[in-house]
A and B are shown apart, each in its own frame.
Chain A
Amino acid sequence: MYSGFLATPPTTATYDYLFYWYLFFGTAASVVVISLLVFFMVKYRSRGDGGPEIVHKTEGWKVVLVTVLISISILSAAEYQTFASFGNIEIPNDPNAVHIGVQAFQWGWTFTYPDGKTLLNNLTVPADRTVILNISSKDVFHSFGISMLAVKEDAIPGKVNQLWFLVPDPGVYKNAIRCFELCGVGHAFMVADLTVVSQSAWDTWMGS
């Protein structure tokens, strides 16, 4: 996935590894299976005159067994990789984490900072610190996603969902945040910026 980061954020790194793992085996499986289909289709095409003896037996448990065994192996390995990546979706127990409230509404985002300040459509976070978002919605079902960090959680009225991320270096990412659940006519414009500031700038801002 595209990112303009200097150093790769941990959630992005985990996602990239997992995604390329799935992509490698998924592509390999598709190529092998589709090639088999095309190969047999061509090899056993009707040539009009005779050709090889036609098989009349219906039950071939051998292929079934091999299919099941190979599927189980690859899928178990995939599931193992997924479970090994659950750090992306488990909220870390980090006492140093910054907690920020996110309230979705038709159509925008309100971010509430530890000192009570609020910003509209601008999520500002300190660099190199764990950020935990407490996401809810004022009206309808929204979904809060930052694609380049591979994080997303639904914003549901009456409910608070959490997600976490960490960005190592400061930077400004325009429209990095988007709503991913249809929420009415403003859905397409429900975007926000991600601003990552240095720890000292964050401290100054929090103190002001």
Chain B
Amino acid sequence: MTDTWLKRWLYTTNHKDVGILYFFTSLYFGFVGAILALLMRAQLAAPGSNLLSAAYYNQALTMHGLIMIFWFLSPVALGLANYFVPLQIGAKDLAFPRINAMSYWIYLAGGILAVLSFFVPGGTANAGWTTYQPLATLALGTGPTLAYLGMVLLAASVTLGSVNFMVSIIWLRATGMTLSRLPMFTWFMLFTIIAMLFAFPTLIAAFVLASTDRILGTVFFTSTSIQPSILWDNLFWFFGHPEVYIVLLPGFGIIANILPAFTGRPLAAKNAILISTGLVVIPLSFGVWMHHMFLTGIPVSLQGAFSIATIAISIPFDVITLSFIESLVRGRVKFATPMLFALGGVILFIIGGITGVFLSSPVLDRAFRGSYFVVAHFHYVMVGAAIFGIIAGIYYWLPRMTGRMYNEKLGKWHFAISFIGFNVLYFPMNLLSDMPRRIFTYPNQGDWATLNAMASVGAFIFSGAQILLAANLLYTWFRGPIAPANPWGSPDLEWTSHVEGIAPIAESGAAPPTGGWIGQLSGPPQGHETQSRGGAVGHYGHLSSRPIQISIGALVFLIGAAFYPSISGVAGLVVGAGAVVYAFWGWAKDDIEGKFVVPPEDVGDRWPFASVPKLKLGIWVFLSSEVVLFGSFLGAYIFIRAASAQWPAAGSIHEIPLGTFNTLVLVTSGLTMFLALQSIRKGDRRGLLTWMGVTFVLGAVFMGVKVSEWFNLGGSGFVLADPAMSLASSAYYIIVGLHGAHVTAGLLVMAYLMKKTSMGTYTKDSHEAIENFGLYWAFVDIVWCFVFPLFYLL
């Protein structure tokens, strides 16, 4: 029994299981973040207090921010999305179940790194969640390194997750689930995912550069000649502003989704809400980042331009808010707990949104930046609107997840105390616009002591109220009365497919239920027998041990990286890399042996991508995020070049003839890959094998030349340690190395594809994998066409 239970939760790829894992893990991290916040509020309750030292306080504020934003807010939304997006669109699972499980385990591994970082000598990251440079890099020690590597893993997990959700929402909708019928939560998750897809790669780039500075001694953020503070600001806030909407939109999606259930009337101006969010907020969110940099010395005209863009972004939110309010008109408003949290969230958003308008003014920002006014603003938005929306969703969907009803009275108390506590906590901060944030102590000056004492009292009320949420969760789960199949009378598929009193874990959609939620141990039989049962694919039908293996490998690898170059560090790198390779090998082996089969989805509504196969769509989505990743690295490189007074002349470091030769080799390999593809399109398997073999050899030659170049460069003094060369070599080794890693990954995939070709897997009509690899390889070639001139010729 235990074995089965454990196996189920460790190896599951079922979207509901993974959703539950996300849900509980994120609640745990939310708890950790809250404890850190309470430590800070306890310290600030009175002036001149000595509860926490400055060093501990800085760690607490840094990890409070990172953990709450990255390991709690987004993942709790992803947990609900994991559970409910497939149900809402009538899919059996997400598009790539194993990658979904991998997203979760990598998210957890990142979180483990972040938590571990507290326990190494010197403690964890202490430069704020914004990780301003060069402060963050100058703070030595393994703790911050672990935390930043955790961020890299987290961002990688989010990228995988967004590819998965994007393809699922586009491609796995059931027949009849046209875009116009898509439930609002799913719509808003789609918008969130799009923002994630293009924002997180920049975060990866930023934290990779920060980590290599710490581990390998590159000088991106320690060089004094290029204003590294500004480089970091641009990278971080290009990610950072869309991130605000990434955090906010799931909560808004829930509010939009559940309003009709409690008003008895449809959502008002639904299309206006969708257009505002999808076509105005998301695109505009990538064009306002410099309002975080008004004080960095950018020209006044640029400040004006970004001020206008920033104030403009409030217009779509006005439309959304007013539409929410209009949705009450001529309805019959029922004040159940989810509705209270939804309406409370809207009220708090109005306050947080309007203080945001103040911050869009560069003149007012001179008073507010770095002060508690900013802290109040973003907590009204991120805790007020986002978390209240998510709590509304938890109460709303709890009967679907547990088959039982929560306690309404307890829920209402939870809301009342949360709402009052929230305002006692954050409203005083609006009035503290002359108090710097992130100071661990303050003098008894003006009204600082009174307002801070209020905020601290509010903090304990607000977090105390969350005990009621935990109590209600436990009550519902163990004691709650059996819920009706559709307690809210919702027209959405996740409810209409529900059967009273049971929360079918094994099947999604309209498939027959098999039992209760947690603790349902006697699931359907092992293995793939269940797959023969038509649509109802058993939960045990797609277990895979690979996602968790990959994640453990990555965890060990990155712990090793943080302790590099000590012996244990190197051992960690070797063991971790070995585990990852082993797991991927196993993954491929499972595929070759047909051990892991994702059930085919029935044809549904796939507009506008009906003609694109699932995996190909996934590759396109993934590659679009890769474009942002390389764009961020190359953008950083161009920033560094533009800011550097001196740079080694073209041809003096990198041999142009050799580079040109290598470029020709790689471009030719693109051509031969195309010929390989053409062969199999005609059904010529031998041709495929031959041309792919040639592509492989060309790729290998390219990498061979690269490696020999690196050896020569290292020998000829192009090293990080030489002050004249440190920036040039940092940029070259990391960015060209990243491209090399992509080529190497391509070589490994090619070996796998050739093996499968020789087994006769691919035919004229079925060779999707070759097509997809062709796309990837073309992308790698194209990236080199940017890298080569930037590094060799200019």
> A residues near B, CB below 8 A?
1-2, 14-15, 18-19, 22, 26, 29-30, 33-34, 36-37, 40-41, 44-47, 51-61, 63-64, 67-68, 70-72, 75, 78-79, 82-83, 85-86, 88-90, 139-141, 143, 145, 147-148, 150-154, 156-162, 175, 178-188
- Residues in A whose Cβ lies below 8 Å from that of B586: none
Asked whether, in the complex, the Cβ of A67 is within 8 Å of the Cβ of B355, the reply is no
The answer for the CA separation of A70 and B330 in the assembled complex, in Å, is 23
- Residues in B whose Cβ lies below 8 Å from that of A67: 318-319, 322
Which B50-66 residues have a C-beta within 8 angstroms of A?
53-55, 58, 61
The answer for the CA separation of A68 and B61 in the assembled complex, in Å, is 38
Asked whether, in the complex, the Cβ of B295 is within 8 Å of the Cβ of A153, the reply is yes
Binds A, one of B96-104, B131-139, B673-681, B696-704: B131-139
Chain B's nearest CB lies how many Å from the CB of A129?
A: 20
Number of A-B residue pairs with CB-CB distance less than 8 Å in the complex they form? 250
The answer for the CA separation of A116 and B315 in the assembled complex, in Å, is 51
Can you list the 9 inter-chain pairs with the closest CB atoms, starting with the nearest? A180-B370, A188-B439, A147-B434, A185-B54, A161-B297, A46-B332, A55-B330, A40-B328, A140-B135
- Residues in A whose Cβ lies below 8 Å from that of B369: 143, 145, 152, 180
- In the complex, 25 of the A-B residue pairs with CB atoms within 8 angstroms, ordered by the A residue number, are A1-B433, A15-B364, A37-B325, A37-B328, A37-B350, A44-B263, A44-B330, A44-B333, A45-B333, A46-B334, A47-B332, A55-B331, A64-B319, A85-B361, A86-B363, A88-B363, A152-B370, A159-B227, A159-B296, A159-B297, A161-B296, A175-B445, A180-B437, A182-B438, A185-B55
Contact with A along B310-325 (1 / 0, CB 8 A): 0110110011011101
Residue among B225, B266, B343, B364 with the highest chain A CB neighbour number at 10 A: B364
Asked whether, in the complex, the Cβ of A86 is within 8 Å of the Cβ of B323, the reply is no
- Given known contacts A60-B326, A64-B319, A159-B227, A182 and B127 CB-to-CB distance under 8 angstroms: yes
Which B40-55 residues have a C-beta within 8 angstroms of A?
53-55
Is B264 at the interface (CB under 8 A from chain A)? yes
Question: Which of B267, B325, B332 sits near A58, CB closer than 8 Å?
Answer: B267
- Given known contacts A37-B328, A182-B127, A188 and B441 CB-to-CB distance under 8 angstroms: yes
- Residues in A whose Cβ lies below 8 Å from that of B264: 46, 54
- Given known contacts A18-B364, A58-B267, A41 and B296 CB-to-CB distance under 8 angstroms: no
Question: Which of B58, B347, B366 sits near A182, CB closer than 8 Å?
Answer: B58
Asked whether, in the complex, the Cβ of A33 is within 8 Å of the Cβ of B363, the reply is no
Which B524-565 residues have a C-beta within 8 angstroms of A?
none
Asked whether, in the complex, the Cβ of B436 is within 8 Å of the Cβ of A89, the reply is no
Question: Which of A2, A89, A157, A187 sits near B366, CB closer than 8 Å?
Answer: A89
The answer for the CA separation of A34 and B351 in the assembled complex, in Å, is 9
Question: Which of A22, A44, A140 sits near B364, CB closer than 8 Å?
Answer: A22
> B residues near A, CB below 8 A?
53-55, 58, 61, 127-128, 132-135, 138-139, 224-230, 263-272, 295-297, 300, 303-304, 307-308, 311-312, 314-315, 318-319, 321-323, 325-326, 328-335, 343, 346-347, 350-351, 354-355, 357-358, 361-364, 366-367, 369-371, 433-434, 436-443, 445-446
- Given known contacts A55-B330, A82-B307, A158-B224, A15 and B363 CB-to-CB distance under 8 angstroms: yes
- Residues in A whose Cβ lies below 8 Å from that of B433: 1, 147
Chain B's nearest CB lies how many Å from the CB of A103?
A: 14
Residue among A2, A63, A67, A72 with the highest chain B CB neighbour number at 10 A: A67
Chain B's nearest CB lies how many Å from the CB of A148?
A: 8
Asked whether, in the complex, the Cβ of A40 is within 8 Å of the Cβ of B329, the reply is yes
Chain A's nearest CB lies how many Å from the CB of B601?
A: 30
Asked whether, in the complex, the Cβ of A53 is within 8 Å of the Cβ of B133, the reply is no
- Given known contacts A14-B363, A54-B331, A61 and B315 CB-to-CB distance under 8 angstroms: no
- Given known contacts A58-B266, A68-B315, A152-B370, A52 and B330 CB-to-CB distance under 8 angstroms: yes
Question: Which of B307, B357, B438 sits near A187, CB closer than 8 Å?
Answer: B438
Asked whether, in the complex, the Cβ of B443 is within 8 Å of the Cβ of A175, the reply is yes
Chain A residue at minimal CB-CB distance from B368: A152
Asked whether, in the complex, the Cβ of A44 is within 8 Å of the Cβ of B329, the reply is yes
- Residues in A whose Cβ lies below 8 Å from that of B132: 140-141, 181-182
- Given known contacts A40-B329, A141-B135, A88 and B440 CB-to-CB distance under 8 angstroms: no
Chain A's nearest CB lies how many Å from the CB of B96?
A: 34
Chain A's nearest CB lies how many Å from the CB of B126?
A: 8
- Residues in A whose Cβ lies below 8 Å from that of B354: 26, 29-30
- Residues in A whose Cβ lies below 8 Å from that of B127: 182
Asked whether, in the complex, the Cβ of B328 is within 8 Å of the Cβ of A41, the reply is yes
Chain A's nearest CB lies how many Å from the CB of B281?
A: 14
Asked whether, in the complex, the Cβ of A63 is within 8 Å of the Cβ of B326, the reply is yes
- Given known contacts A1-B434, A46-B334, A141-B133, A152 and B58 CB-to-CB distance under 8 angstroms: no
- Residues in A whose Cβ lies below 8 Å from that of B303: 89
Chain B's nearest CB lies how many Å from the CB of A178?
A: 5
Asked whether, in the complex, the Cβ of B333 is within 8 Å of the Cβ of A152, the reply is no
Chain B residue at minimal CB-CB distance from A58: B266
Chain A's nearest CB lies how many Å from the CB of B551?
A: 32
- Residues in A whose Cβ lies below 8 Å from that of B128: 182
Asked whether, in the complex, the Cβ of B333 is within 8 Å of the Cβ of A41, the reply is yes
Asked whether, in the complex, the Cβ of B300 is within 8 Å of the Cβ of A156, the reply is no
Asked whether, in the complex, the Cβ of A154 is within 8 Å of the Cβ of B358, the reply is no
The answer for the CA separation of A79 and B228 in the assembled complex, in Å, is 32
Asked whether, in the complex, the Cβ of A68 is within 8 Å of the Cβ of B363, the reply is no
Chain A residue at minimal CB-CB distance from B443: A175
Asked whether, in the complex, the Cβ of A71 is within 8 Å of the Cβ of B367, the reply is no
- Residues in A whose Cβ lies below 8 Å from that of B331: 44, 54-55
Asked whether, in the complex, the Cβ of A1 is within 8 Å of the Cβ of B300, the reply is no
Chain A residue at minimal CB-CB distance from B297: A161
- Residues in B whose Cβ lies below 8 Å from that of A181: 132, 370
Asked whether, in the complex, the Cβ of A18 is within 8 Å of the Cβ of B325, the reply is no
Given contacts A153-B366, A159-B229, A187-B438, 18 further A-B contacts (CB under 8 A): A1-B367, A18-B363, A41-B343, A44-B328, A44-B329, A45-B335, A53-B330, A56-B265, A58-B270, A60-B323, A64-B323, A82-B307, A152-B366, A153-B295, A156-B297, A158-B226, A184-B139, A185-B53
The answer for the CA separation of A172 and B333 in the assembled complex, in Å, is 59
Question: Which of B228, B268, B272, B366 sits near A151, CB closer than 8 Å?
Answer: B366
Chain B's nearest CB lies how many Å from the CB of A116?
A: 24
Chain B residue at minimal CB-CB distance from A181: B370
- Residues in A whose Cβ lies below 8 Å from that of B332: 44-47, 51, 54
Asked whether, in the complex, the Cβ of B370 is within 8 Å of the Cβ of A158, the reply is no
- Residues in B whose Cβ lies below 8 Å from that of A161: 295-297
Chain B's nearest CB lies how many Å from the CB of A132?
A: 14
Asked whether, in the complex, the Cβ of B268 is within 8 Å of the Cβ of A60, the reply is yes
Chain A's nearest CB lies how many Å from the CB of B755?
A: 52
Asked whether, in the complex, the Cβ of B436 is within 8 Å of the Cβ of A178, the reply is yes
The answer for the CA separation of A52 and B296 in the assembled complex, in Å, is 57
The answer for the CA separation of A71 and B446 in the assembled complex, in Å, is 36
Chain A residue at minimal CB-CB distance from B267: A58
- Residues in A whose Cβ lies below 8 Å from that of B269: 58-61, 63-64
Chain B's nearest CB lies how many Å from the CB of A33?
A: 5
The answer for the CA separation of A33 and B357 in the assembled complex, in Å, is 15
- Given known contacts A22-B364, A143-B370, A157-B229, A68 and B318 CB-to-CB distance under 8 angstroms: yes
Chain B residue at minimal CB-CB distance from A150: B367
Asked whether, in the complex, the Cβ of A54 is within 8 Å of the Cβ of B265, the reply is yes
- Residues in A whose Cβ lies below 8 Å from that of B346: 37
- Given known contacts A15-B363, A18-B364, A40-B328, A154 and B296 CB-to-CB distance under 8 angstroms: yes
- Residues in A whose Cβ lies below 8 Å from that of B227: 156-159
Question: Which of A41, A44, A75, A157 sits near B224, CB closer than 8 Å?
Answer: A157
- Residues in B whose Cβ lies below 8 Å from that of A33: 321-322, 325, 350
- Residues in B whose Cβ lies below 8 Å from that of A63: 268-269, 322-323, 326
The answer for the CA separation of A71 and B351 in the assembled complex, in Å, is 15
The answer for the CA separation of A8 and B49 in the assembled complex, in Å, is 34
The answer for the CA separation of A75 and B314 in the assembled complex, in Å, is 9
Asked whether, in the complex, the Cβ of A78 is within 8 Å of the Cβ of B311, the reply is yes
Asked whether, in the complex, the Cβ of B266 is within 8 Å of the Cβ of A56, the reply is yes
Chain A's nearest CB lies how many Å from the CB of B309?
A: 11
Chain A's nearest CB lies how many Å from the CB of B325?
A: 5
Chain B residue at minimal CB-CB distance from A136: B297
Chain B residue at minimal CB-CB distance from A51: B332
